[in-house]
Structure 1
Amino acid sequence: MTQVPDWLERLAAQAQQAKVPRYLLPPADGGREAAVLMLFGEGPLGPDVLLIQRSTRGRRHPGQPAFPGGGVDPGDGGPVGAALREAEEETGVDPTGVHVLCTMPELYLNHSDNRVTPVVAWWRVPSAVHAASPDEVDSVERVPIAELVDPGNRIMLRHPSGMAGPAFRVRGMVVWGFTAMVLDSVLRAAGLERPWDTARVEQLPPDILGLASRS
Structure 2
Amino acid sequence: MGQRTGEGGGPVVDALDRLVRTVRREDLSRHPVPSAGGRASAVLLLFGAVPGAPGAPGAPGAAGPDELDVLLLRRADGLRHHPGQVAFPGGALDPGEEPVACALREAREETGLDPAGVDVVGVLPALFLPPSGFVVTPVVAWWRRPGTVAPGDPAEVAAVARVPLARLLDPANRLRVRHPSNDYVGPAFRVDGTVVWGFTASVLASVLRLAGWERPWDETAPPLDSTTLDEPLELPAADPLPGSA
TM norm structure 1: 0.90
C-alpha distance in 2, partners of 1:106/1:144? 26
1:74 Cα offset (Å): 2.1
Runs ≥4 residues deviating over 3 A: none
**Corresponding position of 1:47:** 68
**Corresponding position of 2:221:** 200
Give the counterpart letter for 1:30 in structure 2: G
The counterpart of 2:198, out of the listed 137, 162, 177, is: 177
C-alpha distance in 2, partners of 1:81/1:23? 27
1:159–1:115 Cα change, 3 Å: closer
The counterpart of 1:10, out of the listed 3, 9, 15, is: 15
Q: Map 1:1-215 onto structure 2 (within 5 A).
A: 3-21=8-26, 23-44=30-51, 46-74=67-95, 77-160=97-180, 161-208=182-229
C-alpha distance in 1, partners of 2:102/2:221? 37
Given that 1:15 and 1:186 are in contact with CA atoms closer than 8 Å, whether structure 2 keeps it comes out as no
1:132 Cα offset (Å): 1.1
Query: C-alpha offsets along residues 45-95 of structure 1, whole Å, 9 cap, x if unaligned?
Result: 7310000011112222100000000000026x3000000000000000001
C-alpha distance in 1, partners of 2:75/2:230? 15
1:134 Cα offset (Å): 0.7
Could you list the runs of 5+ residues in structure 1 that have no partner in the other structure?
none
C-alpha distance in 2, partners of 1:65/1:191? 24
1:8–1:201 Cα change, 3 Å: farther
Q: How many residues align?
A: 210
1:50–1:205 Cα change, 3 Å: same
1:207 Cα offset (Å): 4.4
Given that 2:20 and 2:121 are in contact with CA atoms closer than 8 Å, whether structure 1 keeps it comes out as no
Given that 2:48 and 2:69 are in contact with CA atoms closer than 8 Å, whether structure 1 keeps it comes out as yes
Give the counterpart letter for 2:177 in structure 1: L
1:210 Cα offset (Å): 8.3
* Worse-matched range after superposition: 14-23 or 49-58: 14-23
Query: C-alpha offsets along residues 123-145 of structure 1, whole Å, 9 cap, x if unaligned?
Result: 00001000112111110010001
C-alpha distance in 1, partners of 2:198/2:41? 17
TM norm structure 2: 0.80
> Secondary structure in 1 aligned to 2:110?
helix
C-alpha distance in 2, partners of 1:9/1:74? 33
| Percent identity over paired residues | 50
C-alpha distance in 2, partners of 1:12/1:209? 36
Which structure shows the bigger proportion of residues in strand conformation? 1
1:203 Cα offset (Å): 2.1
C-alpha distance in 2, partners of 1:152/1:143? 16
C-alpha distance in 2, partners of 1:15/1:191? 13
